[in-house]
């Protein structure tokens, strides 16, 4: 199956919600866990128990695992493996971006068959030029995985680059969207190159009408993004939009049933 087919099947079964696993130190504290690899593992595997098989996609934030060194990365590998065993798609939020052989190595790590860090998709940064992502795009296509490319992020500093105007009159964000749209052209039900567009960015000022791919919309929930914001940004037809909630769900832990109930409430509101 292509990534688009896998995603369509998952959304049909569970709805479009993507839930993040962000083991932020403050959340470890709130759950009564130590800021250690052991606390990280307890947190992450509790989230896996709560979310696995109940949502379309789960997004572990790699940085919070990497902060604990090799033991933290080992926990991330286990999270990826156990979520995939439940049939839940895994988007590894690593935001990798580089050139040449280094980008090829990142592609193999996060998208290659047999890699313990490979989920079903990975987030990428295109700001060394969209063409620099080619090794990852090719590996994703070859292995039936996907990528989500940063386009319009919700941090205020992002506008300095993303809304800058290129010589051809398009914004950098629009250029990224157009490259991604071309890569996805003609693929059904949707392409394997997704975009990241923050739910709290205000106005997009870009044309998404011809984009045939999934759109990850972080910032939904605790960061202020609402269903009304999603409809305003993406229009009434949101079949390829994946609202993402992390803290708004995770704050209900560590009780598994409370986490499950929090997910269900968000799903019912979409």
Token pair, residue 150, equals 């940063």
Residue with tokens 């979409």: 270
* CA 71 to mean position of chain CA atoms: 23
| Residue 165 main-chain phi, psi, to 5 deg | -100, 125
- From CA 217, how far away is CA 17, in angstroms rounded? 10
What amino acid positions are annotated as catalytic residues? 95
- What DSSP assignment string belongs to the chain? --HHHHHHHHHHHH-S-EEEE---HHHHHHTT--SSHHHHHHHHHHHHHHHTTTSSEEEEBHHHHHTTHHHHHHHHHHHHHHHHHTT-EEEEEEEE---HHHHHHHHHHHHSTT-TT--SEEEE--TT-GGGGHHHHHHHHHHT-EEEEEEE-SSGGGHHHHTPBPTTS-BHHHHHHHHHHHHHTT-SS--SEEEEE-TTSS---S--TT--S-EEE--BSTTSB-HHHHHHHH-S--TTEEEEESHHHHTT-S-HHHHHHHHHHHHHH-
Torsion of CA 156, 160, 163, 165, to 10 degrees: 170
Residue 98 tokens read as: 């580089």
């Amino acid at each position: 199956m292509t990534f688009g087919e896998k995603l369509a099947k998952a959304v049909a079964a569970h709805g479009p919600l993507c839930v993040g696993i962000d083991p932020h130190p403050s959340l470890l504290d709130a759950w009564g866990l130590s800021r250690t690899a052991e606390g990280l593992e307890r947190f992450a595997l509790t989230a896996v128990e709560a979310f696995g098989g109940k949502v379309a996609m789960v997004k572990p934030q790699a940085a919070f695992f990497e902060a604990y060194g090799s033991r933290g990365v080992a926990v991330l590998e286990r999270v990826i493996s156990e979520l995939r065993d439940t049939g839940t798609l895994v988007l590894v939020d690593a935001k990798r971006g580089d050139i040449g052989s280094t980008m090829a190595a990142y592609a193999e790590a996060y998208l290659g068959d047999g890699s313990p860090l490979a989920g079903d998709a990975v987030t990428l940064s295109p700001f060394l030029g969209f063409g620099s992502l080619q090794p990852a795009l090719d590996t994703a296509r070859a292995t039936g995985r996907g990528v989500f490319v940063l386009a319009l992020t919700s941090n205020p500093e992002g506008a300095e680059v993303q809304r800058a105007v290129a010589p051809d009159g398009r914004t950098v964000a629009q250029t990224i969207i157009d490259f991604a749209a071309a890569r996805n052209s003609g693929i059904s039900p949707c392409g394997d190159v997704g975009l990241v567009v923050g739910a709290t960015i205000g106005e997009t000022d870009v044309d998404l009408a011809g984009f045939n791919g999934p759109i990850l919309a972080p910032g939904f929930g605790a960061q202020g993004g609402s269903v009304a914001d999603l409809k305003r940004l993406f229009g009434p037809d949101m079949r390829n939009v994946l609202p993402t909630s992390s803290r708004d769900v995770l704050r209900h832990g560590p009780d598994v049933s409370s986490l499950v109930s929090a997910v269900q409430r968000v799903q019912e509101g979409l």
